[in-house]
Structure 1
């Protein structure tokens, strides 16, 4: 039973209760009318539809401030497809260090060690809430990492640990970082993301950005294993340049393309990258101010400078909760998330299935800070209400 009085049920609810970490909330003011110009029923290879695909690439590069010489393509399979293309196409040329500190970076480690079976691969691990020891990285190796841990709410605060004169490539899964955080392009060689995160697009399409060094690897190295068509970035010893101007490997959804364009145009009107970062950081700041001094919750990220401003992960710290065993904690955390969903104040806000029990609140740029502020007292209420059941 609770050893403190239960907080009163708040009177106000968020305007938009969508706090899922993917697919994420649509941009403010979105309606289906925004998709009325979609090239439905058309070939994606026709002039008009291909121009829309090319515009997604151009606007993305402009908003992100991608350096000259980088190539950006739309690829199948969301961020997962983009990361897999990079791993299967480029690794094996030299030893590999994989940084694993949450579910998806753990998956990349599994790919490298158990699927590609690279004998000279090292996995540098950290528990949820922490970053791997960057001092242990050998940058004569290729390096694979997740810039922002979507399931842990932990991000790299900067790229200072990556040397400019590195020998290997740095492959950065940036799906919940792109458009919400400054990415140190000069420190990275492959950057991936998907449409359904910070700009609230629809799922299924990934973005693959390659530095000149990454392109050189593709042109000078041939993996020992066969590559399926959907992973091939070269043909006849040359880069498949069409991928980077809108000629996709497989058929994209032109409805999703129109939606991606809508999100990108909204991003321009929201102040471009600085404006998007400010919106995301504002959401983190609102939650941080509430967590400070709150006995019910704390951040999963153990160091403030590593707290994500998009996938904001919280653990329950109420005295009644920490006394429970692991099984009961998992049930209690799910009950808190279920109550928030029942009250229609936060949908899909439970922690990722492999993460410690708690909540995960998406704070990307499409989420209004006013909705974050209205959600927070509901979390207090839900934790207190669930305490009476344990």
Structure 2
């Protein structure tokens, strides 16, 4: 029987969204919040603009791209792009996990586009990127949050493309290299790699995307919070701190705190190193374990943020899905009861397994402290289900 470890993670928060706060965070970080005042007053608008400017600088977004704060987290940002931009030409949607599948469903069932191709692969794999037609619009997630699979790079995206690339990058931004020249629309939220609060999204637009907005008017009604143009012209205020709806200034202050922290530790290279270090710790552990493997099938597609794991021993594989999910729940409950790890079960639509967030706000020593506890909890579950 595996002996129960002694050392516990200092921070047991391994959720894939909302994610762990940055090291050393406390409510005192919000002391300078613009509360009780209009977000359209000069001080509030200044803070919103600071989030935009700091995000642009940290991510290295090209100067001719526009960046704005939009409602409803990354979901709102993606939907805004889909509803406002699609329909001018055919669309390819890449699906290999639940969020990409959701975007494909919305395009097919809500936008009701006729010229739609869905390029799909099972969890753990990528669709054939060589099949993508970049003269069509392309919609895809850069990093599959629910599968732990990311695209390896942007080489498959044509430089001379005629279509737009619309990239949901919420669990990739700040953690993985994004080739901005290949991406026309990029979305993310504050709640992922920098550990900010939920409810607000970020939307980056290339000049090509802006040109589409001002030259193409979709033949469908657009809800107010999705409207990026007025009388055929881009609403520039969205990208200058004038948000479409009222933002939470507490969340804005928290976003500024996380961006300031990122700057203080060395910017984007430091954030990437922290994520890569977390993945490396899990990789070394998995290599020496016979009962667990990565859900991702190819090493070059392995996510360094949403680290998804399969249980592989025969007794688990032989269970039906309901019992597999029961075993995972039991394992996770053991860890949660001891304050070891919170929220590490795989996503509800993914194959039964584990998901450990390895984003930049997670400390590698906490990952390293968690791993022996996974061995212990697995042994407890194995004994229970085989007895």
**Do the two structures share a fold, i.e. TM-score over 0.5?**
yes
Shift of 1:324: 2.1
Matches within 5 A, 1:99-138: 99-138=94-133
Matches within 5 A, 1:13-24: 13-24=8-19
Deviations 1:265-322 (A, max 9, x none): 0000121110000000000000000000201210000011101000000011133322
Distance 2:47 2:67 in 1: 14
Give the secondary-structure state (helix, strand or coil) at the position aligned to 1:355: coil
Give the secondary-structure state (helix, strand or coil) at the position aligned to 1:389: helix
Aligned to 1:216: 211
Distance 2:314 2:262 in 1: 42
Aligned to 1:93: 88
Does the alignment pair 1:282 with 2:277? Answer: yes
Q: Which stretch shows the higher mean deviation, 67-76 or 331-340?
A: 331-340
Matches within 5 A, 1:148-227: 148-227=143-222
Shift of 1:345: 0.7
Which runs of 4 or more aligned residues in structure 1 lie more than 3 Å from their structure 2 counterparts after TM superposition?
Answer: none
Distance 2:39 2:9 in 1: 39
Give the secondary-structure state (helix, strand or coil) at the position aligned to 1:192: strand
Distance 2:321 2:78 in 1: 33
Aligned to 1:305: 300
Aligned to 2:24: 29
Does the alignment pair 1:231 with 2:262? Answer: no
User: What TM-score, normalized by structure 1, do the two folds share?
Assistant: 0.98
Give the secondary-structure state (helix, strand or coil) at the position aligned to 1:264: helix
Aligned to 1:141: 136
Shift of 1:236: 1.6
Aligned to 2:338: 343
Q: Conserved in 2, the CA contact under 8 Å of 1:296 and 1:380?
A: no
Structure 2: 5+ residue runs without aligned partners? none
Aligned to 1:246: 241
Distance 2:318 2:76 in 1: 42
Count, aligned residues = 385
Does the alignment pair 1:381 with 2:376? Answer: yes
Of the three residues 36, 42, 65, the one matched with 1:47 is 42
Shift of 1:115: 0.8
Deviations 1:82-131 (A, max 9, x none): 00000000000000000011000000000111110101001000000011
Matches within 5 A, 1:308-327: 308-327=303-322
Q: Which stretch shows the higher mean deviation, 186-195 or 230-239?
A: 230-239
Query: Over aligned residue pairs, what C-alpha RMSD do you find?
Result: 0.7
Give the secondary-structure state (helix, strand or coil) at the position aligned to 1:171: strand
Of the three residues 28, 50, 73, the one matched with 2:68 is 73
Distance 1:44 1:387 in 2: 54
Aligned to 1:3: none
Distance 1:76 1:173 in 2: 15
Distance 1:114 1:371 in 2: 43
Shift of 1:327: 2.4
Q: Conserved in 2, the CA contact under 8 Å of 1:70 and 1:209?
A: yes
